[in-house]
Amino acid sequence: MIIGNQDVDPSGDDKTSLLISTKNTPGALLALLQPLADHNISMNKIESRPAPDRKWEYVFFIDIDGHQQADNVKKALLELKQQSSLFKILGSYPKASL
């Protein structure tokens, strides 16, 4: 993982990392992720960790295809933010090439 405090311009082959949390209710995660499907965005990774200050709630680290400046990603992120109790864009950056 590379951490920086500067925004990176879109390269055309990017991913965006997010930190998101939602209430612990039936279907909450499904509803939270629906905007990704609605805007044709692939999710590459999802990891859950217990929320440190809320019993039985979790935070999710999510990687998606696309840059936060792309129109479809912007729209999906706005919808994700509206459904989240915690929402943070960790950054957009070029995908690693192997």
Task: Identify the pLDDT of residue 96.
Answer: 79
State both tokens at 46. 């999802």
Which domains does the chain possess? 14-94 (3.30.70.260)
Task: Identify the pLDDT of residue 57.
Answer: 84
pLDDT values of the chain reduced to their tens digit, one per residue, 98 residues = 455 667 777 888 899 999 999 888 899 999 999 999 999 999 999 999 998 887 778 999 999 999 999 999 999 999 999 999 999 999 999 987 65
H/E run at residue 30: helix 28-38
